[in-house]
Every structure is written in C-alpha cells, then in structure tokens.
Amino acid sequence: MIRLSRLNQERWQRFKANKRGFVSLWIFLFFFVLSLFAEVIANDVPLLIRHRESLYLPLFREYAETEFGGEFETAADYRDPYVIDLIEEDGWILWPPVRFSYDTINYDLPSPAPSPPTRENLLGTDDRGRDVLARVIYGFRVSVLFGFILTFFSTIIGVSVGAVQGFYGGWIDLLGQRFMEVWSGIPTLYILIILSSIVQPNFWLLLAILLLFSWMSFVGVVRAEFLRGRNFEYVLAAKAMGMSNARVMFRHILPNAMIATLTFLPFTLSGSILVLTSLDFLGFGLPIGSPSLGELLAQAKTNLQAPRLGITIFLVLAVTLTMLVFVGEAVRDALDPRRSY
C-alpha cells in the first residue's frame, strides 16, 4: 500500500464518506475491469476444448478442423454443429458465458433481425444479426479506453502548456492565450468530416485529432494556479537558492495545480466517452464494423420498431456517464481546498 500524507489520508476519508461517489467508483471499475476481459466473456470461440486426452486453447491458437477429425484443413468453425459434434464425441467444450463475439453474425435467428431477446441472445440482436450484449461489452471497453487515453494525453499536454504560460507569464502567456483563442475557433467536427472523407479514421487517428483540441480545457485552470503560485514566497525562496525553473515548477507549484486538474479528470473522461459516441453515431468515428456505443445508438435510431435497442444503449450510456459524474463530484468535494486546512 502506498503511504499517504496526512492531508491525502483526510481527502481519501472524505472521498469514502461520499457513499454515492465511492460506490459509483467501484461499480465503474468493476465493469471496466470486466470489459478488459471481454474476449473471455463474449466470444464465438470456446475457452477450452478437451479432445482425445489433449487440451486445446482456441483463444490463443487456430486449430484446423482435421485436428478434431474433420474433413477440411481450414480453421475450425466452432459455431458449426458438425464441428461441435466431432469434438463432443470424445471430449468436452468450455464456452464463454456469451457465445458471440462483437462481429459474430447469428444466421439462425427465430425472427428477422433485429430480433428480440432469446436464451441465446440475451439482449437480442442488431439489424445485422449480431449479438447486442457482446457489442455492448466490447463497445464499452473501446469507449472507456479511448476516454482514458484521451484524458491522459490531454492532461499531460494541457498541464505542460498551462504551466509554462503561467510560470513565465508576459509574452509567452500572451502569445499562448491568443493562439488558443484562434485554435479553439477551429471547428473540430468539420475537421473530422473532412479528414474522414480522405482517410478512414481509426482508433489512433481519431485520438490524435481529438487530442489536437481537447488539451485546451486544462490550460486555463493550470495557468491560473501557476500565475498564483509563482509568487508564493516559498517558490521565490526556491528560486533564490538557485533551483532550476523546471524543478521549481514540478516540485513546488505543480502539486497545487494538480488538485484542480484532478477535479476535472472524471468529467473530462465522461466528456471523452461522449465525444467518441457522438462521432460514431454520426458515422465519422471508428471504422465500420467495430463495436461502439455510438454505432448501436445509430442503429437504435434507424430501427425504431425495435425500441429495446434504444433502451439498452440509453441505459448503458446513462449509467456509465452518471457514475463518472458521481465520482467526479466526490473527488471535487474531497479535494475542496476550503475544507483541507
């Protein structure tokens, strides 16, 4: 366990005291960690196969059908009843809880896609016969990871820029502020639309483009903290003893600025998730076929005759974002400087 300073222990206690935020954090983390293991939870490939005294791990290796006594030397299709029968003649199969991956198409649906929930497809299928539950699990993972990575890099860039502007002030600050005014005037959405007509955006390209603009939300607050902090007497004292500027910034001012930044993080995270969702909804997001909450949302809109699609995705999004906001509120209250001394 990391040893916390007394101040941080108090903050942690205050955070824990906020039941709503604390519970939200654990629920969110539970689902996030769960979704990291999506391949084990929802997949069209068995986790483990026992066949003729030997074990097979199809998750990590492709096996030819002939290994199980089949006819073709192609990769075994585990959804094929013929293959399943072959294996189960002399062994057994351990399936994941959901027997579909995000791109598995269920060809034998009882009703035309989008089909209602069955025992096989717990949340039904979308209009291409893909399992909604699997797509939600994978989509959640992509969205949250995207949010985390975007937030992480935005914080690093935003805090650095804000720190330099606030610490040096003067011309650097003035130029930085004017640049940001111009830069924030560029409409992100148009840039994305234009770019996606030239290249097919993927996860990293999308991240890079959004990062071009998202770092600015941190600059204001960090800059203000540094403007304030650079005239603290202990900062001047550190400079007077010959400490380098970078070290003064890191050691003596950044801890103050991080409080304000930390308060922003959960809100930025939920914002990032929402941005990816809306881009996918509009069709300018992740490549076609990738699991994403926004793409499901778009399906819900085109298939109003199947309202469970819309209800599912609405609940997933609303619960995720609300939990993040609750966590954000708890963090904000825990770090409130008016209560810390």
Binding region for another protein (CB under 8 A): 5-7, 232-234, 236-243, 247, 251-252, 255, 341
Question: Residue 265 in contact with residue 320, Cβ under 8 Å?
Answer: no
Nearer to another protein among residue 198 and residue 240 (C-beta) = 240
Nearer to another protein among residue 59 and residue 237 (C-beta) = 237
How many of the other CB atoms lie within 10 Å of CB of 268? 22
Shortest Å distance, C-beta 179 to another protein = 18
Shortest Å distance, C-beta 116 to another protein = 58
Question: Residue 202 in contact with residue 280, Cβ under 8 Å?
Answer: no
Shortest Å distance, C-beta 5 to another protein = 8
Q: If you count them, how many residues does the chain have?
A: 341
Nearer to another protein among residue 5 and residue 54 (C-beta) = 5
Beta strand residue intervals within 42-86, DSSP E: 48-51, 54-56
Shortest Å distance, C-beta 237 to another protein = 5
Question: Residue 70 in contact with residue 78, Cβ under 8 Å?
Answer: no
Nearer to another protein among residue 234 and residue 314 (C-beta) = 234
Shortest Å distance, C-beta 220 to another protein = 20
| HSE (side-chain half, CA atoms, 13 Å) at 93 | 20
CA dist list (Å): 100 to 79, 130, 141, 253? 9, 8, 16, 51
Nearer to another protein among residue 62 and residue 233 (C-beta) = 233
Nearer to another protein among residue 133 and residue 253 (C-beta) = 253
Shortest Å distance, C-beta 251 to another protein = 8
Nearer to another protein among residue 81 and residue 170 (C-beta) = 170
Shortest Å distance, C-beta 285 to another protein = 42
**Is the C-alpha dihedral spanning 47, 49, 59, 130 positive or negative?**
negative
Locate tokens 């007497």: which residue? 233
Q: What is the DSSP string of 224-255?
A: HHHHHHTTSHHHHHHHHTT--HHHHIIIIIHH
With left for phi above 0 and alpha for psi between -120 and 50, is residue 326 left, alpha or beta? alpha
CA dist list (Å): 131 to 12, 34, 124, 272, 299? 41, 18, 6, 26, 13
